[in-house]
Amino acid sequence: MPVRPFHTSSVQYIFQGNGVLATWWRRCSSEMRIRGSLVLLMHVLLCLVSGAYSGRTSSYVRNEFPSDDIPLEHESLAVPNGHNAPQQVHITQGDYDGKAVIISWVTALEPTRSEVFYGEQEKHYDRKAKGRMTNYTFYDYRSGYIHHCLVDSLEYNTKYYYKIGTGDSAREFWFQTPPAIDPDAPYTFGIIGDLGQTFNSLSTLQHYVKSGGQSVLYVGDLSYADKYEDNDGGRWDSWGRLVERSTAYQPWIWNSGNHEIEYMPDLGETSTFKPYLHRYATPYLASKSNSPMWYAVRRASAHIIVLSSYSPFVKFTPQYKWLKKELKRVDREETPWLIVLMHVPMYSSNDAHYMEGESMRVAFEEWFIKYDVDLVFAGHVHAYERSHRVSNVDYKVTSGSRYPVPDESAPVYITVGDGGNTEGLASRFNDPQPDYSAFRKASYGHSTLQLKNRTHAVYQWHRNDDGKHVLADKVVFHNQLEERPCVATGPH
């Protein structure tokens, strides 16, 4: 039976665009060409039909955003107008109880006075605070002039306006102080980690600033400047400009990650955390820490403990000794919510960085249970995961009891390493999902924690894989002391 001829030019183009198919196209007869073309057309039609079907039935179709860093000329990284104008403005809590802030900024071209003018009325700056200035070099990069200024003796629950810089280069911002330390003081934290500076990072930030969050608990890995060949210190500057839309207006409680270590002996850089420590001040002395890498703050109804995953923490180290004392200082009558931040998660079922938090779990998990820690937030793994309340404190090398067990006295462990950096998502999880894992998803996003009163908090995870804001996980947490009225007395 003769095969009816049909127009094959477009199919011929597809075939000729491929080396192997082009060879076949040249060698085969016209009938074979027509049959081959029909097979290809059928395949294309089937793909179209199945694609349309899955688009209707799938609840979520992810669009791939580029994971490259935002180009330096993009408006989101723009240098502010005015000669040597202050840039990369960021504030953090400046004391133990929230009546002070540290205001930091960079002047790129010249040293200037480290002065902040501030007051309770817009454009009326009746007070002035003086700070200090620093800078550093890193291989072939020379930083701008980094200013840190403590503004203290503030009133609670008050909006302050502040100005830095002078003349045409002056810039103005504002911040709101938290309520006084009170067990029923409502307060909303954002939780962000591993942010970087891609368009996914920008999406996370844009969604966070609309979330109602009043302060960010940051769980480490900031700029990812170390991802550049020979390290690109300029990417620390662009990151500071990217996040300024939030950091200039509310305190971010800083913590470091592995991308802040920047130990690069091949470049002659052997002091660890050099850019991070120059740029991001923490109020560590107020909590009697001897290092800006680990410290604690109290804010509204929360006591927040910041631990450094990449600083020594085994028995007898300064961080270990400090944490032991800090846990004794926690007064749950004043701050019923006890929250710990670290970079490397102690419980994660993602293939990426699996078990990397085990050494800190061995060191501190027993204390977290004894002291009724409510929540432990971590980053590092570029995905989202929330655990059930579990513990593995019975595990000893010889006990054989090595599997985590349900434990109502244990914290909930939450990984929020999904800010959106250039390394992309960690999408491979252990299969099957282990019992300790309550919810997990490899998507970009951020979390919010609304402390309602001394007993209840509303926790939410917001994902933004495709640039859209979607509420993807929501839990009402009961305070640990409400469930277990017995208060622990001290670490072992």
The residue ranges that bind Fe ion (CB under 5 A) are 221, 257-258, 380
Shortest Å distance, C-beta 146 to Fe ion: 23
The SS3 call for residue 116 is strand
Q: Which is nearer to Fe ion, 231 or 287 (CB)?
A: 231
How far apart, in whole angstroms, are the C-alpha atoms of residue 425 and residue 428? Answer: 9
CB 181 within 8 A of CB 157: no
Q: How many CB atoms lie within 10 A of CB 365?
A: 26
Q: Which of 471, 414, 476 is nearest to 445 (CA)?
A: 471
3-class secondary-structure state, position 73:
coil
Least distance in Å: CB of 421 to Fe ion? 9
Q: What is the CA radius of gyration of the chain?
A: 27
Q: Which residues contact 482 (CB under 8 A, 6 or more apart)?
A: 454, 455
CB 339 within 8 A of CB 225: no
Give the nearest distance from C-beta 229 to Fe ion in angstroms.
19
With contact defined as beta carbons under 8 Å apart, do 136 and 78 qualify?
Answer: no
What is the spatial distance between Cα 164 and Cα 170, in angstroms, rounded to a whole number?
Answer: 6
Measured from the CB atom, is 354 or 395 closer to Fe ion? 354
Between 102 and 219, name the residue whose CB sits nearer to Fe ion.
219
Active-site hit among 148, 353, 380, 446 = 353
Report phi then psi at 103, rounded to 5.
-100, 125
353 is catalytic: yes
Report the residue number, 201 or 258, with the smaller CB distance to Fe ion: 258
Whether the CB-CB separation of 186 and 451 falls below 8 Å is answered with yes
Instruction: State the DSSP code for 483.
Output: H
Smallest separation (angstroms) from Fe ion to the CB of 107: 30
- What the block records as the tokens of 354 is 């699996």
What gap in Å lies between CA 120 and CA 127, rounded to an integer? 9
Q: Which is nearer to Fe ion, 220 or 336 (CB)?
A: 220
Cis peptide preceding 432, ω within 30 of 0? yes
C-beta of 206: minimal distance to Fe ion in Å?
23
Residue 272 or 455 with smaller CB distance to Fe ion? 272
Q: Which is nearer to Fe ion, 94 or 257 (CB)?
A: 257
Nearest residue to the partner Fe ion, using Cβ: 380
Instruction: With beta carbons less than 8 A apart as the criterion, state whether 264 and 233 touch.
Output: no
Nearest approach, Cβ of 110 to Fe ion (angstroms)? 35
We find the least distance from the C-beta atom of residue 380 to Fe ion, in angstroms, to be: 4
Give helix 19-27 / helix 9-16 axis angle, nearest 10°. Answer: 130
Q: Is 135 helix (H, G, I), strand (E, B) or coil?
A: coil
Q: Catalytic amino acids?
A: 353
